Amino acid sequence: MRVTFDTAALKALSAQLRRDVIPRATARGLNNVAFDARKAVQQEMRDVFDRPTPFITNSPFVTQATPDRLASKVSMRYPGGKGVEPESVLRAEITGGPRRLKRFEILLDRAGILPKGYFAVPGGKAPLDAYGNIRAAFIVKLISYLQAFGEQGYRANMTDKRRASMSKAGKTDRGYRTIGGVQYFATHGRLRGGHRGSHLEPGIWSRSGLHGMKLEPVILFVRQPTYAKRLDIEAVAQRVVDAQGARQMARALEFELRKLGGAAR
């Protein structure tokens, strides 16, 4: 008995698997793992940070693999605009160590309001948003009032005439003029004695009430904060790869083989 078997079809199928199916399956599996890792990083952010903003939780971004480029990547996406990149915001929490100045702190530093080596934190009178941060609109108003926007942003600074106009509504019985009943001033406090506010903690304070006797801290100046490493993105992603990588790759290969079988029928 002679049995013959034509291997041409098998060779063609094997070539198709190597050329098309396996690269597509590999890319699909890599992307599925990457998106799982992105979800895990986002959840880790919610666990380790106090009320992280959507700007932060939405920043992890997946660069997807393709059959021609079998590599997927989870990184921080910068949405554009004039804001600070998420990587800059999170650098201290990711690597540990001192944090950098925020945009409004840089403006205060350049204007000589923020002492060298100091950073700004909310005071008891600071208006906060739902995430515990000082309201952006209030910061803009305060920077403008303190004329700290700098030369490039001089048009955004509040002029003396504008401040005088706004202060009329806050005139007290002794003729002391404020803005809407509240005046803001910066002091270096005990860092530089011998001037107004030298007995106060360094920062930006509000004064209101009768004769302006009510003083409340809006922003306080503190030494450069140092953070412990709190967000280990690589470790989070590696846990996902270890737990789900093989399963996702097997599912992706099974999916592509089903597609191939359907096409053959």
Band of pLDDT at residue 153, cut at 50, 70 and 90: very low
Band of pLDDT at residue 21, cut at 50, 70 and 90: confident
User: Which sequence spans correspond to the domains of the chain?
Assistant: 8-92+226-264, 112-223
- The answer to whether residue 236 scores a pLDDT higher than 60 is yes
Band of pLDDT at residue 66, cut at 50, 70 and 90: very high
The model's pLDDT over 205-229, given as tens digits with 9 standing for 90+, comes to: 988 877 667 888 999 999 877 777 7
DSSP strands (E only) in 77-196: 97-98, 118-122, 183-187
Packing angle between helix 136-145 and helix 103-110, nearest 10 degrees?
A: 10
Q: Is 110 left (phi over 0), alpha (psi -120 to 50) or beta?
A: alpha
DSSP 8-state code for residue 19: I
Average pLDDT, the chain: 77
Average pLDDT of the segment spanning 122-142: 87
What is the CA angle 38-44-47, rounded to 5? 150
What local confidence, expressed as pLDDT, does residue 170 receive? 41
Tokens (6 digits) for 218: 């809006």
Tokens (6 digits) for 167: 């202060």
pTM of the model: 0.62
**Is 186 in a helix, a strand, or coil?**
strand
C-alpha span between 5 and 261 (Å, rounded): 21
What local confidence, expressed as pLDDT, does residue 78 receive? 61
Picking from 264, 242, 241, the residue whose alpha carbon sits closest to that of residue 74 is: 241
Per DSSP, what are the bridge partners of residue 223? 118
More reliable by pLDDT, 182 or 174:
182
